[in-house]
Structure 1
Amino acid sequence: MARIRSVHPGLWTDETFVGLPAMARLFLIGLWNEADDNGVFQWKPLTLKMRILPGDNADASELLAIMEEVGVVMRYEAEGASYGAVRNFRRFQRPERPKPVHPITDEVEQFVALPSNSHTCSKKKHGAVGGQATNGRNSVNHPEPNEQPSLDDNSVSEHRQNIESHGPMEEGIGKVIHSSLRSECERAPKPKSETPKRGTRLPADWQPSPELADFARQNGVDPVATAEIFRDHWRGVSGDKGCKADWDATWRNWVRREQGFSGNRPIRSGPSNRPKTAADRADEHAAYMLEKYAGGAR
């Protein structure tokens, strides 16, 4: 039964595919529809011709021979019947629930790029490939059943580079990457948003720390008296308005407002670099005259 298959865009520039005759290229794509989910089809040229090219004057046996010669298909014997396999079929065709129906050998598994952890309904058979008998897995290095393909940061880009440079029909183009695993590689993890800090109420015995008290003095505010007012005010505020995430910052803002209301200037540790105004010079002159004449200077 024919199946729906997808055509990889890299196929049209693949050197091996482009080198085939036009009718052979069309026949190869038709084989994808006739092959089972492992890329295996029955080697029956006449039947394939009637299913793929029923209205064309073409020799299916000749087309299969051309494709076998360049290595895009492989013929093998199993259970007394002839079968064919399409190279790298499972690298580019990824059925969600594979249901292969034809027997398969170790060499064919490698030829069609069948993943080692792929589920298969067909029993593995040891048949003859290219006129030679196959015995076990001597020539194929298969990973363990539970082993997953390596997924380093370069896997996806390397896979794409290999397709662009070699094409889907070329041999040895890199690691098999399943669509589900590839999507996980390309999908960047979303950064976790930080949980906002929840506000708390001011403790009943709250007192400003030495640093907070110094901050008040530097701004001309009495830390002792202001702390009592600050504590009584916020202890009396109900609900969420009485909760703050940072009580130190709330204290500093309170001090700044108190300094602004009282008109006190911050206490500076050194001389001010502010230029003198006319009022400053008038005050200095008045102090000089008062000291000179009222202080008894003669």
Structure 2
Amino acid sequence: MSARRWAKFWWQDWQRDPALRMCSLAARGAWIEMLCLMADADPVGHLLVNGRSPNMRQLSAVLGCSEREATKLVAELEENGVFSRSEDGTIFSRRMVRDKAISDEAAANGKKGGNPNIIGKGKRKVKGEDAEGLTPSLKANATPPLKHQETEAEADTERKNSLRELESAPADAPPAPAPKSEKPKRASRLLADWQPTPEQIQFAEANQVDPVRTAEVFRDYWLGVPGTKGCKADWDATWRNWVRREDGMRSQAAPSKAQQRADNAEAWKSGVMLEGY
């Protein structure tokens, strides 16, 4: 259960959302009921009840309609792109997941004494502050520099020095020892302004997956995953797996209504009527 009992609701954003405006009044009503469940879920923004994704029978009980009607409303919302699904098929609100990530980041910065990017800016140095404008207590809690950047710079310098030594060494000099293997990549979170590279876009198009929509879902999902679960050592590999999964889900998608009507007509000729939506 979420500890947050209230949340900001932007009325104009609700009214101006083009995807939502394309839905019927009943579908929009179902969506606001689903948002209430997502606001109380863990993680926030995912359609979960007691940590599990409800089936259509359970969701219809919450919405106060029949299972058939609930299935129709959810399909309408998904068809218009109102929500997204996680890797395991769980429905989630992109806006709610993104807002929760921003809120968590602000809360974490507050515990450290404020946003580390603006601490000390525009402030005069007072007694007890160091050259960076931070008191010892704030400096102890400030975000340290990215160590992997320093390591890469040092490694690049070592490679250049080794190349100079090799060029200046005599021809009969013994071979230099082999360099040490590089350290494994450190897991990190996806950047908030992440965009797919041209190679990643090409990979998605090669698998017949829309790179723009897939990138939006990919970014919103991983920004909303809390803690170490949202850290990956190789985001390129994560993107490729996500694209392959999207391709597999697309190939296994249910037949269109037109295809069902054609199947029903064919079945009618043979004396067997198939059940439609």
TM-score (norm 1): 0.32
Please identify which structure carries the higher helix content. 2
Larger Rg: 1
TM-score (norm 2): 0.34
